Chain A
Amino acid sequence: MDPRGPSRIAYSEASVSAHGRASSHTLFSDDSQALLEDSPNGSVQSPNYQGVGRQNVISRIEDIVESMVDALSENQPLTLPLRSRRSGNELAVSFPSTTPSGVKKFSGFCWRSSVRFHSAWCLTYSNSSISCSSSGSLSLPPSSRFGHHYYQKSLTETYCRSIYYHNPELFESQRYVNELVDDIAFMFGVGRNELNIVAASKGLIAGQPFGPEHGDQAVVVPPAETVVDLDLRQIEWILVIEKEATFRSLVSLRYHEISVAGRGILMTAKGYPDLASRQFIHRIHSKFPQIPIYALMDFDPDGVSILRTYKHGSQSMRHEEHATVPGLLWLGVKSSDLIELQMRLLPMASSGPSNGRESQSTLSSNPNNDYGSSSSLAQLLPGSTRHGEAGWKLLSMSCRDRAKAMQLLRSLNDQVHQDADEMEQTSELQLMLVLNMKFEIQAVDQAENMAYWLDERLSRISGWI
């Protein structure tokens, strides 16, 4: 159980009570219709297409607020409908819980969620102590003093981060705010955007028309809405890269300009992709379906999981629409690439003893061995000895890796009908387990070699060889 829970309840209760009672007589003096009329049409921050959903959310929040105020005025416990993001089940959570059955409801996840929800309630409901423009503030009618301010504010998007900074003491962490926002969005079955809350993207992108900015080739992934205005006629391919280091080294080489596959765009979301990056790449794929989007991931369970997150979204964020790219193509690294690598492992055969569980095969090459493949993955290896640092690493799978692989295998197996991509993912995960090996891309020094390899892969796929 979260030891921070009770204090949060107290805090929430206090603010809900205070503002609930104080403003109850004016709470519904205004309605959402008036609010919508005031909204500047076509503003970039709140696109029109979201209007209907948002209005629906506003009225549903108002219903809840109304029932809460009623409950408060009748001195009844507050009851909130709550849906679990894990199971999707709806629960009614009471607060404070006075009956034994109510106490039960507070156990486990339900309890934690209710604590969260009351904090969230603060977030959405109290309009003076925490000034933020989440869904709740939209529903709140203007009191004479704050009214205009809130109208304005509610119509522009708010960053999760700024919500957190409105009351860091209450929320304690940015992550907590993110979860609250997702909980609320999930409860209403809408996306974050419709709550007017966005997270700043952590993703980076390079290639025209993005950047350079301040001399840096890579820029932060822009909001998905801006895709409408993009001109990508020159772009032949897009490469989504798992690791920032790999991305940076390719950017510094200007691979997006010099690739034999033509002009391209490089992008990374630094590991598991955030919602904003996924929405952006989704929008690109919808608007420019002719541009192939490739994924360059590590050969490990997280690599497959990240690939699947781009393609199909994540379980806990399934209420978010327009955030998947089912057509994403898996470029590598795959088990078949390991064969080339082993050719270069040969000189290592008589090396000293490995260091137990953490045994790694640092890849090095023997200058006397010429395998004649000028553009192969194996070409990456000479750099590793030259620079005295391994760029590509074969590692044994940790217990966590194995557990992750099995979890992915189970979820893939639960698919009613596996498509060819899912069969490939299954097969690669099984091979990781059988080999007990993962292969991480850490190519910082070997950008040129990586570029050769990408050239070869991209042109093979597009049928130019």
Chain B
Amino acid sequence: MSKQYLTAHTVDNAHIANIFAIAATKTAVLSASGSSSLNIHATNKDAYPLVQSISNAHKLGCHHLAVSRDGRIAASIGFAGDLKTWKVSDTGSGDWEPYVEVANGGEKNGEAWALALSEDGSVLATTTHNGRVNVWRLRDGSSQLAQQFEPGSVVTSAFGMSIDISHDGKYTATGHENGAVYVYNNESGRIVYQLPGLAKPVRAVAFSPAGTKLAAAGDSMTIELYDLQFGEHVAQFTGHTAWIMSIDWSDTGEYLLSGAYDGKAKVWSIDKQACVATHSETEQALLSVKWLPKTGMNEMFCTAGANKSLTFYREATGTA
């Protein structure tokens, strides 16, 4: 059985450059691009208007952006290696403002690459070019380097291309350029699993909402699903015909959303282990895809990439 999604709205030219990352809260989509500003579009208003633009956030542009599940804290990394954190203003305006400074953990500029935030934004993790992982604890006014997973005999020094933190903040997963996937325990600093890799760059890793599964995808054009109870490979989703750049779990953990370099977005049912919807509004690369946190009856998701636009989709079945 397939699912129907309709294009709800497209914000054309949401940025003047490629959109490399988007992140969704209950009320807004934050987006980062090759230009220096971060943009915030409201998702709870008609026509998804631009409600804030943080200019000069990253001088050389921004490639990674994440927001905590509670929608309060965000973090971004720019092409100059500049790592910044943001929070929703306490004034009630809903605007985003700079949060704590994160010293780059002894890393040289440009080494921090992918990043992830825990559910409440108290844990921030980043990968580096040489395969390391840095984990920070963020509190108001300060940041503290909590863990540093060094490359060693087990961990290769391959570029850390993707990262995710489990919703409870206990685990960090990383996907590497050589196809390796690792799961770390943030408390002990130990590697929990070294998962059978994809043999090709892993451009996205994502914990399921319950933290029981991990999905990984990338240049193999497949999505690999792992069970985290025993670290077993449990499923492979095939169907994309280009590098998979981004994946995201739906709130309920029933569906996976994926976006590929050929512009195609797919929705996968975990139960059926099959693709249930394919969309290709653009032939330009999709670089980031995200479900919007469920607020109404309909599931919604947003895609962005080389066409510089934000495209919003709404589930066709189950009218509001």
A: residues with CB less than 8 A from B are: 335-336, 338-339, 342-343, 345-346, 349, 351-354, 356-357, 359, 361, 396, 399, 402-403, 406, 409-410, 413, 423, 426-427, 430-431, 433-436
Whether B80 and A406, one on each chain, are in contact in the complex, defined by CB atoms closer than 8 angstroms, is yes
Secondary structure at the A interface, as helix, strand, loop or mixed, is helix
Whether B34 and A436, one on each chain, are in contact in the complex, defined by CB atoms closer than 8 angstroms, is no
Closest B residue by C-beta to A342: B242
A349 to B217, CA, bound (A): 12
> Beyond A351-B199, A434-B287, is A409–B79 a contact (Cβ under 8 Å)?
yes
Whether B60 and A409, one on each chain, are in contact in the complex, defined by CB atoms closer than 8 angstroms, is yes
What is the distance, in angstroms, from B299's C-beta to the closest C-beta of chain A? 28
Partner of A396, one of B17, B110, B201, B287: B201
Whether, in the assembled complex, B178 has its beta carbon less than 8 Å from a beta carbon of chain A, the answer is yes
Closest B residue by C-beta to A409: B60
Whether B199 and A339, one on each chain, are in contact in the complex, defined by CB atoms closer than 8 angstroms, is no
Whether A430 and B79, one on each chain, are in contact in the complex, defined by CB atoms closer than 8 angstroms, is yes
Which of B42-50, B83-91, B157-165, B265-273 contacts the other chain? B157-165
A335 to B110, CA, bound (A): 22
Closest A residue by C-beta to B221: A349
Whether B159 and A396, one on each chain, are in contact in the complex, defined by CB atoms closer than 8 angstroms, is yes
A166 to B146, CA, bound (A): 64
> Beyond A413-B60, A436-B159, is A353–B241 a contact (Cβ under 8 Å)?
no
Whether B34 and A402, one on each chain, are in contact in the complex, defined by CB atoms closer than 8 angstroms, is no
> Beyond A339-B285, A342-B262, A426-B34, is A356–B17 a contact (Cβ under 8 Å)?
no
Closest B residue by C-beta to A426: B34
Closest A residue by C-beta to B178: A356
Please provide the chain B residues from 305 to 320 with a CB less than 8 Å away from any CB of chain A in the complex: 306
Partner of B199, one of A353, A431, A435: A353
CB-CB under 8 A from A410, the residues of chain B are 60, 80
CB-CB under 8 A from B200, the residues of chain A are 354, 359, 361
A339 to B219, CA, bound (A): 12
What is the distance, in angstroms, from B116's C-beta to the closest C-beta of chain A? 17
What is the distance, in angstroms, from A314's C-beta to the closest C-beta of chain B? 21
Whether B199 and A354, one on each chain, are in contact in the complex, defined by CB atoms closer than 8 angstroms, is yes
CB-CB under 8 A from B177, the residues of chain A are 357, 359, 396, 436
A105 to B199, CA, bound (A): 55
B: residues with CB less than 8 A from A are: 16-18, 20, 34, 59-61, 63, 79-81, 110, 129, 156-159, 161, 177-179, 197, 199-201, 219-222, 238, 241-243, 261-263, 283-285, 287, 306
Contacts A339-B263, A346-B221 given; 8 further ones with Cβ under 8 A?
Answer: A339-B261, A345-B221, A357-B158, A402-B129, A423-B17, A426-B17, A430-B61, A430-B79
CB-CB under 8 A from B63, the residues of chain A are 430, 433-434
> Beyond A349-B220, A356-B158, is A406–B199 a contact (Cβ under 8 Å)?
no
Partner of A427, one of B34, B161, B263: B34
A352 to B79, CA, bound (A): 33
11 contacts between A and B (CB under 8 A): A342-B241, A345-B219, A352-B199, A356-B156, A357-B158, A396-B159, A396-B177, A427-B34, A430-B18, A431-B18, A436-B201
A123 to B191, CA, bound (A): 64
CB-CB under 8 A from A346, the residues of chain B are 221, 241
Whether B242 and A339, one on each chain, are in contact in the complex, defined by CB atoms closer than 8 angstroms, is yes
A303 to B314, CA, bound (A): 42
CB-CB under 8 A from B242, the residues of chain A are 339, 342-343
Whether A427 and B285, one on each chain, are in contact in the complex, defined by CB atoms closer than 8 angstroms, is no
Interface centre among B179, B200, B283, by most chain A C-beta atoms within 10 angstroms, is B200
Whether A357 and B79, one on each chain, are in contact in the complex, defined by CB atoms closer than 8 angstroms, is no
CB-CB under 8 A from A342, the residues of chain B are 221, 241-243, 261-262
A335 to B201, CA, bound (A): 17
> Beyond A359-B178, A396-B177, A399-B129, is A353–B197 a contact (Cβ under 8 Å)?
yes
Partner of B284, one of A336, A357, A406: A336
Closest B residue by C-beta to A359: B178
Closest A residue by C-beta to B130: A399
Interface centre among B20, B219, B243, by most chain A C-beta atoms within 10 angstroms, is B219
A354 to B200, CA, bound (A): 7
A361 to B200, CA, bound (A): 9
Whether B156 and A335, one on each chain, are in contact in the complex, defined by CB atoms closer than 8 angstroms, is no
CB-CB under 8 A from B80, the residues of chain A are 406, 409-410
Closest A residue by C-beta to B238: A349
What is the distance, in angstroms, from A337's C-beta to the closest C-beta of chain B? 12
A359 to B220, CA, bound (A): 13
A51 to B199, CA, bound (A): 64
